[in-house]
Amino acid sequence: MKTSGIYLSGVERTFGSDEIIVSKTDTKGRIIYANEVFLRLAGYSEAEILNQPHSIIRHPDMPRCVFKLLWDTISAGKEIFAYVKNRSKNGDHYWVLAHVTPTFDKNGSIVSYHSNRRSPRPEAVAKAEGLYKQLLAIEQGNPDRKAGMDAAFQAVVATLQTAGVPYDEFVFSL
């Protein structure tokens, strides 16, 4: 199946609860480190993945507003947890619970980002997937891509305000 020029196999990959996917990016989001678990699940060699944008594994089912929230949070020097559906090189997909943190130099400036990803609980994935479908529909329902993303982002903000919790607490409630 092709979605916007990207092949999707429909096959889900999984990894062990004792495994951790680790990657590190520069401040522009280019991969500067990927561990063996990352390489295996993503289906890339280290030579293929280094210096590539982390979005190389972005799955088209992921709403852009989730990545806006992620980048807004980490570029402000804060950590974030998020459920993410990634796409492997061959079109397979895999879900992760990501914990992304900024790395600071001795002067307090952000020099890179570090992400540890664990295997998520299936019931949390089901809830995240439902929310992401709603957000993606909002994004795609607007002919202007930026306006669609902004509308979906506002929907996330409204959901958090209604729940009365910050995003991390919301993620852990799924």
Render 54-108 in DSSP notation, one character per residue: GGGGB-TTS-HHHHHHHHHHHHTT--EEEEEEEE-TTS-EEEEEEEEEEEE-TTS
pLDDT of residue 6: 81
Order of strands across the sheet with 93-104? Answer: 31-34, 21-25, 110-118, 93-104, 80-87
Residue 46 three-state SS: helix
Residue with tokens 């009365």: 164
Total residues belonging to the chain: 174
Domains in the chain: ranges and CATH = 2-163 (3.30.450.20)
CA distance 64 to 79: 19
Residue with tokens 């570090």: 114
pLDDT of residue 5: 65
pTM confidence score: 0.93
Q: Tally Cβ neighbours within 10 Å of residue 45.
A: 11
Per-residue pLDDT in tens (0 to 9) along the chain, 174 residues: 555 568 999 999 999 999 999 999 999 999 999 999 999 999 999 999 999 999 999 999 999 999 999 999 999 999 999 999 999 999 999 999 999 999 999 999 999 999 999 999 999 999 999 999 999 999 999 999 999 999 999 999 998 899 898 888 888 888
For the record, the structure tokens of 88 come out as: 């492997």
Residue 43 three-state SS: coil
CA distance 110 to 120: 28
CA distance 55 to 53: 5
